Amino acid sequence: MARLRIGLIGWGTVGSALGRLVVAGPLPVDLACLAVRDPRRERSVSLPDGVPFVAPQEVATADLDAVVELAGGLGEPLVWANTVLRRGVALVTANKALLANHGIELARIAREHGTALLASASVGGGVPMIETVTHLAATGGIARLRGVLNATTTYILTAMGDGRTYGEALREAQQAGYAEADPAFDVDGQDAAQKLSILASLAWNSWRGEDDVSSHGIRGLQVAEGRVVRLVAEATEERLSIGPADLEPDDALSRTTGVENVLEIEVRAAGTFRVSGPGAGGRVTAGAVYADLARLVAGDRPILFGSLA
């Protein structure tokens, strides 16, 4: 079996966990080069010895079998993705912003140039949400998607249900490492909206970008003590929405805690399917990226949104 030579852009929590998997895991994968945006920044996990350290654009143009992009965001990552795919090199990414805004055009480029676009880790972390929705969409008409897709807001809303104010719960989440210093991406619903747009595009085989999602976050929300509120993502073929919802105790979404994500998929004439598990964390998210690499090693060349392209 030929070894897969990959370049990696990003050495944060997920990137460093993937690096350890590549070294210790069973797949014939070699980390050929590595790039980060700021090489001078202190890191909890040191950059690996013996791996050439280059600029991100050099990874995008290197002689490789696949590029793994874990830097996140738009702008430069879109340039890298275009460069990689137009060269016929496979792209593996966890970048939900990139996919929710440019996924359809990247799929077309991948198809035109005979390469692969994989992104299992972009939604649900270690939970196979993309795979499950894709499978169920192929076997029966999906009527509705409904889930909790953001761990930061779950942590905050749980604390508020226990009696803390929004400000107190946010500070607690930041101290625990569940929320960024600037929490807007999570608390305003943008993270969940990007994930929902990806899932909805797959569920109904029709492109739904981030702008198609009606989003209402939890900033400044008041939760009565003892109530269970979650930031709920919901989609039908006609409407996509993100917003806080007051849930009953017997609702499966009300039982989410910590970094758990859950997705309910209602299939016409077949009932409701549910997938859940850790939606964040370096090891579990890196595991989803590693699973994508396993597909490339096996000779698969899937294209996310390929049927739309």
Indicate the burial class of 153 (C-beta count within 10 angstroms; 0-12, 13-18, 19 or more): buried
CA–CA gap between residue 208 and residue 137 (Å, rounded): 15
Which of the following is catalytic: 102, 146, 164, 195? 195
Residue 70: name the closest of 86, 83, 59 by CA: 59
- Residue the block writes with tokens 């998929």: 265
The number of C-alpha atoms within 13 Å of 165 and in the hemisphere containing its C-beta is: 3
CA quadruple 45, 50, 55, 57: dihedral sign: negative
CA–CA gap between residue 272 and residue 186 (Å, rounded): 27
- Between β-strands 271-278 and 213-215, what pairing exists: parallel, antiparallel or unpaired? unpaired
* CB-based contact 150:215 (threshold 8 Å): no
The answer to whether residue 195 is catalytic is yes
Provide the β-strand partners of residue 117.
91, 303
Mind telling me the catalytic residues?
A: 195
